């Protein structure tokens, strides 16, 4: 099989694969990414066991929340991407969570001081004022977020050279949290290695993690994908770096 035909076969397979939910099982054996050292799922489980009412913002398909062994009496999740809403509802039945479809740019549809705990893994954006509003006094916000420059190598492989990142800085998150009236009690950072073994893994990832290459489509970027396939075939797996930070804050 020619290099171009091989690339097109891998690309077509990845373009047809489902990307619902927020699991990455499709990449098994094709791509890997290191995990942050703090163990977000474990921290969430520990926090959930200590409260009566909790909210998970941008739950995705509910994959992390579904693993909580001792859910609180009131457990609510929000999701703003319509295909994920039904996935999350099915996934979260096991923990008795209510999933609320939301407009990502709208205020949270909950009363003031509704929750002891708000969590969020990789939120699209954090509305700090709304987070503070729905927390009860003494309540806690625990979130693992995507840091500045994450997957920059992959973005540039498709888009070409990019200007320095200007968003998602951990220090800015701290400033925004404090401006909303929260007190940050912990901040941790990590830089992690990601490896893509074939161009199909890249295509599937870019379809799912849409902010890596905004507006990505296979047809629009087929020449760049062919070039990336040639690079992987010649030099081995493509490597990139992702950045994460954990922010833990309380409402005084």
**Separation of alpha carbons 191 and 130, rounded Å:** 29
Residue 191 CA to residue 45 CA, distance in Å, equals: 24
User: Does 21 score more than 80 pLDDT?
Assistant: no
pLDDT class for 167, splitting at 50, 70, 90? low
- The stretch 109-119 carries a mean pLDDT of 98
| pLDDT(74) > 70 | yes
pLDDT in tens, 172-211: 999 999 999 999 999 999 999 999 999 999 999 999 999 9
Average pLDDT over residues 52-62: 97
- Identify the pLDDT of residue 2: 64
> Which residue's entry shows tokens 């992959």?
154
Q: Specify the pTM.
A: 0.89
Assign a CATH topology to domain 3-250: Rossmann fold (3.40.50)
Distance CA 139, CA 121 (A): 18
The per-residue b/e assignment along 60-79, b for 16 or more CB within 10 angstroms, e otherwise, is bbbbbbbebeebbebbbbbb
Judge contact between 145 and 243, C-beta under 8 A: no
Cα of first residue to Cα of last residue in the chain, in angstroms, is: 64
CA distance 12 to 2: 15
pLDDT single digits (tens) 227-242: 999 999 999 999 999 9
- pLDDT surpasses 60 at 1: no
Q: Percent of the chain, pLDDT > 90? A: 92
Q: Are 72 and 97 in contact (CB under 8 A)?
A: no
Whether 214 shows a pLDDT value over 90: the answer reads yes
In angstroms, the CA 236 to CA 228 distance is 11
Show the tokens assigned to 75: 């457990």
| Average pLDDT over every residue of 101-125 | 96
Sign of CA dihedral 203, 209, 211, 212: negative
Residue 168 pLDDT > 90: no
3 pLDDT higher than 90: no
Looking at per-residue confidence, does 109 or 148 come out higher? 109
Radius of gyration of the chain (CA): 19
- Which pLDDT score is estimated for 164? 86
pLDDT digits (tens, 9 = 90+) for 122-161: 998 999 999 999 999 999 999 999 999 999 999 999 999 9
Stretch 51-62: mean pLDDT: 97
């Amino acid at each position: 099989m020619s290099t171009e035909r091989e690339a097109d076969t891998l690309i077509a397979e990845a373009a047809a694969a489902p990307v619902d939910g927020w699991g990455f099982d499709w990449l098994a054996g094709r791509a890997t990414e290191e995990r942050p050292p703090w163990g977000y799922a474990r921290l969430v489980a520990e926090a959930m066991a200590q409260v009566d009412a909790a909210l998970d913002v941008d739950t995705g398909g509910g994959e992390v929340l579904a693993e909580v062994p001792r859910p609180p009496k009131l457990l609510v999740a929000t999701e703003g991407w319509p295909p994920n809403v039904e996935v999350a509802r099915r996934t979260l039945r096991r923990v008795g969570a209510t999933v609320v479809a939301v407009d990502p740019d709208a205020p949270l549809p909950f009363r003031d001081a509704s929750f002891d705990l708000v969590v969020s893994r990789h939120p699209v954006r954090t509305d700090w004022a709304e987070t503070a509003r729905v927390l009860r006094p003494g309540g806690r916000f625990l979130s693992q977020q995507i840091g500045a420059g994450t997957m920059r190598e992959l973005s540039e492989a498709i888009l070409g050279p990019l200007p320095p990142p200007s968003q998602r800085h951990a220090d800015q998150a701290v400033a925004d949290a404090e401006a909303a009236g929260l007190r940050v009690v912990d901040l941790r950072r990590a830089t992690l290695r990601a490896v893509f073994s074939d161009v199909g893994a890249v295509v599937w990832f870019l379809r799912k993690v849409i902010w890596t290459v905004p507006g990505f489509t296979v047809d629009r970027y087929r020449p760049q994908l062919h070039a990336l396939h040639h690079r992987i075939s010649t030099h081995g797996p493509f490597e990139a770096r992702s950045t994460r930070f954990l922010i833990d804050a309380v409402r005084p």
